[in-house]
Amino acid sequence: MSLVLLFLFLFSIFLLYRSLSSTKPNLPPAPASLPFIGHLHLVDSRTPHRSFHSLSLHYGNPDSSRLILLNLPSPTLVVSTASDAELVLKTHDLAFASRPASFSEAILVNGTGQGVSFSEYGNYWRQSKKFTVVHLLGQKRVFSAPFRAAHAEEVTAMMDHIAANKGEINLSDCFYAYANGVVSHAIAGKENNAQRLRELTDDLSAILANGSLYQLAAEVFPGIGKLITKVSGLDKKFELYNRNWNQFMAEIIEDKKKTANTKEEDFLDVLLRARDDGTAGFDLTENDIIAIVRDITAAATDTTFNTLEWIMYSCLS
Ligand code: HEM
Ligand SMILES: *[C@@H]1O[C@H](CO)[C@@H](O)[C@H](O)[C@H]1NC(C)=O
Ligand SMILES: *[C@@H]1O[C@H](CO)[C@@H](O)[C@H](O)[C@H]1NC(C)=O
Ligand SMILES: *[C@@H]1O[C@H](CO)[C@@H](O)[C@H](O)[C@H]1NC(C)=O
């Protein structure tokens, strides 16, 4: 036993020595970069995935699955294969769990709670993710009768809409409405919230897209990042979004208090119950609940409707 410990001790000294003595870290390859902006000029902001793909084909080492490291301008590892994605998202999840905080994220998080997307690796991160995965997105709930019924209802609504339309139809719109409908059902169990949820989700996307140039500038010049977000009016837009989102959630939560819950619980019911019972495993405040719901909405809507679009595209071609 003590031999093993001694070995481990010597080995860790060796590792420490190596990490202190190696001056040049063994980083993935990168194209030549410019001062300040790094590799930003090589990435098309409308289709970044295409730029990443061609850059990794061009500069990546084919023997190490074409990893490349770009400065955008913060160091960004481009991962292009499924096995590397598994290493990053699963095997070394903890090493990659935190994200560099951006100025807009800071305003979002400051206006509500941390939620699951923007929290840094730590106890809060662990507990809020665990709660979301186990209690909200677990098999039991996803396959429960009311969730299946809500899902069936949204599919039927989409099919009816398509059937009623004799001419051309915009499937992107149909898929968006479907994804949004399922999400709003899952969150609050009430169909009449869908329209408002969609407006708020669209608002957030528009702010992120419209403000991307300023957000970028704020990241490139972090010293005056706060000033840039202020002068460009981005902070006001985010603050307005925060207010609207918080108000929307507060109204739904207020509604829930008034009406006795007879149906199977939706996401908000589960979160509120965990807060009231103190069974969440961490200090779950109403702000956290509002932020978790915001993150789930953002995580579920675009991913679902983009996947459906691609499935349709693949079927047609
Ligand atoms: C085809 C559809 C989807 C795809 C491709 C997808 C993909 C992903 C990926 C790659 C991540 C990891 C992000 C990271 O760790 O940085 C993630 C996280 C997450 N997803 Fe999905 N997702 C999809 C649908 C959904 C749906 C329907 C929900 C909820 C109803 C959802 C909820 C979440 C949540 C809560 C997280 C963790 C939040 C975060 O780390 O940002 N996702 N998803
Ligand atoms: C966070 O919000 C408070 C109160 O709403 C505000 O005074 C503060 O300036 C905000 N901080 C950031 C970084 O936006
Ligand atoms: C279909 O709807 C999407 C999303 O609303 C929009 O971006 C696209 O331009 C529309 N396509 C056509 C042909 O109208
Ligand atoms: C985004 O930009 C478009 C076009 O410039 C504008 O119509 C829209 O109001 C802007 N949205 C936000 C939220 O700033």
What domains can you pick out in the chain, each with its CATH number?
11-96 (no CATH), 106-316 (1.10.630.10)
Question: Tens digits of per-residue pLDDT, 170-182?
Answer: 999 999 999 999 9
For ligand 1, pick from 124, 180, 303 the residue to mutate: most ligand atoms within 8 Å of CB.
303
**Closest ligand 3 atom number to CA of residue 170:** 1
The predicted model scores a pTM of 0.83
For ligand 3, the distance from its centroid to the CA atom of residue 242, given in whole angstroms, is 27
**Closest ligand 2 atom number to CA of residue 110:** 1
CB atoms within 10 A of CB 187: 25
For ligand 1, the distance from its centroid to the CA atom of residue 96, given in whole angstroms, is 15
Q: Say how far residue 258 (Cα) sits from the centre of its chain.
A: 32
With vertex at residue 209, the alpha carbon angle to CA 304 and CA 194, rounded to the nearest 5 degrees, is: 45
253 lines ligand 2 (CB under 6 A): no
- Ligand at minimal distance from the CA of 106 is 2
pLDDT band at 17 (very low <50, low <70, confident <90, very high): very low
DSSP character for 38? B
Closest CA to 104 of 207, 220, 231: 207
For the ranges 92-96, 220-224, 241-245, 269-273, which has the lowest average pLDDT? 220-224
**Long-range pairs for 214-219: beta carbons < 8 A, 24 or more residues apart:** 215/102, 215/103, 215/104, 216/40, 218/102, 218/103, 218/104, 219/73, 219/74, 219/102, 219/103
DSSP character for 133? I
For the segment 126-134, the average pLDDT, to the nearest whole number, is 91
For ligand 2, pick from 107, 110, 243 the residue to mutate: most ligand atoms within 8 Å of CB.
110
For the ranges 74-88, 104-118, 175-189, 243-257, which has the lowest average pLDDT? 104-118
Closest CA to 40 of 66, 70, 2: 70
List, in sequence order, every beta strand (DSSP E) within 37-165: 68-71, 75-78
94 lines ligand 4 (CB under 6 A): no
Whether pLDDT at 5 is above 60: no
100: preceding bond cis by omega (within 30 degrees): no
For the segment 73-101, the average pLDDT, to the nearest whole number, is 88
For the ranges 30-39, 115-124, 184-193, 291-300, which has the lowest average pLDDT? 184-193
List, in sequence order, every beta strand (DSSP E) within 63-176: 68-71, 75-78
Closest CA to 51 of 70, 65, 36: 70
Whether pLDDT at 1 is above 80: no
* Residue type, position 47, single letter: T
Q: What is the helix (H) or strand (E) element at residue 177, kind and residue range?
A: helix 171-188
**Closest ligand 3 atom number to CA of residue 171:** 1
Contacts of 312 (CB under 8 A, 6+ apart): 171, 175
Whether pLDDT at 256 is above 70: yes
Whether pLDDT at 101 is above 60: yes
φ, ψ dihedrals at 100, nearest 5°: -65, 130
CB atoms within 10 A of CB 38: 20
292 burial (CB, 10 Å; 0-12 / 13-18 / 19+) is buried
107 lines ligand 2 (CB under 6 A): yes
Indicate the average pLDDT of the chain: 85
For the segment 132-142, the average pLDDT, to the nearest whole number, is 91
For ligand 4, pick from 210, 214, 215 the residue to mutate: most ligand atoms within 8 Å of CB.
210
